[in-house]
Chain A
Amino acid sequence: MTNFDIMVIAGPLLIIVVDLFAYWFFGRLGKRSVGKGNKFQPFTGGEQDIAPRGTYSSELFVFATLFMVAEAFVLLLSASFASQSYFYPLLFLAGGSGVILIVTWWLMIVGGMRP
């Protein structure tokens, strides 16, 4: 692997690490509240009934989200063909598959898409 390849991978990774560190650091400044009660209910706009969580299901939302995921995957896959070695195709395939798996898993867990 050349210095050029190292920069392409290490540059974004460095930014993610610094980003997460800064996020953790700023988290030390303010107070974090987790709990139950009125304060922790989602904003209702003054209405009395509070929508339950996890029952929302919209075909448009699910298909549009899958459109995003598929598009990201296609972009990654198409980028891989411009590569001169096996490294980037494998990296992009792994990245794209990871994005699809994580998003689908999360949507199934939280309730946007039912198994």
Chain B
Amino acid sequence: MDWLQIVEILVFPGLTFFVWVGFIFDWLDRKTQARMQGRRGPILAGPYGFFQPVADFFKLTSKEEIIPEIADRFVFLLGPPLFFAAPAIGTIFIPVLGAAAIVSNDYDLLFILFILAFTALMATIIGYAAGGRWSIIAIGRLVVQYTGYEVPLVVALVTPALLARSLSIGGIVAAQQNVWFIVLAPISFVVFIISALAELEKPPFDIPSAKTEIVGGWMTEFSGRPLAYIKLTKDLSYAFLSALAVSLFLGGPLGPVLFADPTLQSVLYFIYWIIKLFAIGFLIFVIKTALARVRIDQAARLFWMVITPLSLIQLGVIMILGIHGW
């Protein structure tokens, strides 16, 4: 591993870049939500409040962190950075400047699935480590929701892999050179977006962190630096899942080739990728603002009775068409 690879992993197009995308997503989310509700949103930190998520992060890190008496101290303190590590590692498998990511192998989609499962697992563990009654109620909801959305999420992610005959994200992106998989598997895309909302705990699936019902959900007991890290992880997951949707359904950074020079073409690929990423992000912002929270039983019923069968039908159609050589 040389210095250039280290810079790619840690700065661009790796970790630091995705953290900034997460901050921008947070800002755009708050601005979009405010506009839809007839408010102005953040206005103070930077132009149009652009640096408000960054200011919030540093404010939280400098505040007192209180460790509850009944908390499992080791997991309470070490959980948030491990929670952050899951989507942070996932970002280096996302192609940004071309069909190839910084790090890739022949089965990195399965590694991404593991990362998504690990994120939910870490949220459960650190919520349980905190030990408060609201945390316990919230993680009960979290695991019910998780068992509901995980199956359709996995099926929705496997469908592009089946279309591309590859478990590599780079391979899936390369297979979309002519036609995006959102065209061939639109139901899987819809299922992925719905499952992503549940994974991100965004409305209408913000049941584990419903502020008006269970205070701060599984984050209730966290303050200061651990809370800052948890919120940062949520922003990063937001960017990561949107980037994953771009890679699996919208052709990743690929688009029309206008330059013979590879560097200039990489810049163009980056522009294509950014446009697609923010289009997906904006779709999520609007959906989450427009919809009201559902109950946990309604969410479980929706995922098991509607979303999972839909995802399986889409997968079955793709398999049948594949068998007949379409």
Residue numbers of A with Cβ under 8 A of B are 3-4, 6-8, 10-12, 14-16, 18-20, 22-23, 26-27, 29-37, 39-45, 51-54, 56, 58, 60-61, 64-65, 67-69, 71-72, 75-76, 78-79, 82-83, 99, 103, 106, 110, 112
Contact = CB atoms under 8 A, between A and B. Distances in A.
Interface string B202-224: 00000000000001000011001
B252 interface: no
Interface of B is mostly: helix
Contacts of A14: 1, 6, 9-10
Given A15-B88, A30-B224, A33-B65, A8 B121 contact: no
Contact of A110 (B63, B69, B107, B129): B129
Given A16-B89, A106-B125, A58 B140 contact: yes
Contact of B143 (A15, A60, A76, A106): A60
B128 A112 contact: yes
B225 A30 contact: yes
Given A26-B228, A26-B229, 14 more contacts: A7-B5, A8-B103, A14-B1, A14-B9, A19-B85, A26-B225, A27-B65, A27-B225, A36-B69, A37-B69, A45-B215, A51-B133, A60-B144, A110-B75
Interface string B93-107: 000000000110111
A32 B227 CA distance: 13
18 contacts: A7-B1, A15-B92, A19-B81, A19-B88, A26-B225, A40-B66, A42-B68, A42-B69, A42-B71, A42-B133, A45-B134, A54-B131, A58-B140, A68-B146, A71-B150, A76-B110, A79-B167, A110-B72
A29 B226 CA distance: 12
Interface residues of B, number: 67
A85 B129 CA distance: 38
A99 B121 CA distance: 10
A71 B150 CA distance: 9
Nearest to A33: B66
Given A7-B5, A45-B215, A60-B140, A30 B110 contact: no
